[in-house]
């Protein structure tokens, strides 16, 4: 039997009906082979980061227990993005721009992975409140390899511009 790994996936959207897009993405993640959705955070409204001349984002984090290797999980996540209408530019020029759906592999168990196109933990996770706040909501004791407890990383950064949406807007 294949062992399961807890993977934490950051979700973001700022085009179209972002709440519906994120809900559909969580359903798609839950349907991945060899995977089970453990929990998902509530939605957070977040001011755009990087390029600020765009609509606010909705962000969340989902926890999956998965038998998929990290590279296969990432490929499946990119497929979910494409199915939601996300088109990534080959040169990365749209990196900070608006998007229908953005899925980031934040953590994959306790693994540290540095390969072309796959970096776990996400290289900027410990600096981004829009990812840390929903992560800490669902997994307050999770550790970021090489950094320490996620809740301590969150305590060190500014939470300005992040607004949790009411619980009646669940994923």
Residue 53 among the catalytic residues: no
**Which one of the listed residues 94, 102, 128, 151 is annotated catalytic?**
102
Tokens 């809900």 appear where?
23
% helix, strand, coil for the chain, step of 5: 25, 30, 45
Number of alpha carbons in the 13 Å side-chain half-sphere of residue 86? 28
Please pick, among 99, 128, 151, 158, the residue that the annotation labels catalytic. Answer: 99
86 catalytically annotated: yes
Kindly provide the b/e burial profile for residues 50-70, where b requires at least 16 CB atoms within 10 angstroms of the residue's own CB: eeeebeebbbbbbbbebbbeb
Question: Distance from CA of residue 152 to its chain's centroid?
Answer: 19
Instruction: Look up residue 162 and give its two tokens.
Output: 């992040």
Q: Given 53, 104, 128, 158, which residue is catalytic?
A: 104
Q: Which residues contact 60 (CB under 8 A, 6 or more apart)?
A: 10, 11, 12, 22, 26, 40, 41, 42, 43, 44, 134, 171
Q: Kindly name the residue from 23, 42, 86, 128 that is annotated as catalytic.
A: 86
128 is catalytic: no
Q: Is 102 annotated in the active site? A: yes
Q: Position of tokens 């609509």? A: 55
Residue numbers annotated as active site: 86, 99, 102, 104
């Amino acid at each position: 039997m294949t062992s399961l790994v807890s993977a934490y996936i950051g979700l973001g959207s700022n085009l179209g009906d972002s709440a519906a897009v994120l809900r559909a993405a969580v359903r798609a993640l839950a349907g991945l082979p060899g995977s089970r959705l453990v929990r998902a955070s509530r939605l957070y409204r977040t001011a755009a980061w990087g390029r600020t001349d765009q609509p606010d984002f909705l962000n969340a984090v989902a926890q999956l227990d998965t038998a998929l290797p990290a590279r296969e999980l990432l490929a499946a996540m990119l497929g979910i993005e494409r199915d939601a209408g996300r088109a990534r530019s080959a040169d990365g020029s749209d990196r900070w721009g608006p998007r229908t759906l953005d899925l980031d592999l934040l953590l994959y168990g306790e693994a540290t992975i540095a390969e072309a196109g796959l970096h776990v933990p996400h290289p900027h996770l410990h600096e981004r409140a829009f990812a840390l706040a929903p992560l800490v909501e669902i997994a307050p004791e999770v550790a970021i390899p090489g950094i320490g407890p996620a809740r301590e990383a969150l305590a060190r950064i500014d939470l300005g511009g992040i607004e949790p949406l009411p619980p009646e807007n669940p994923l």
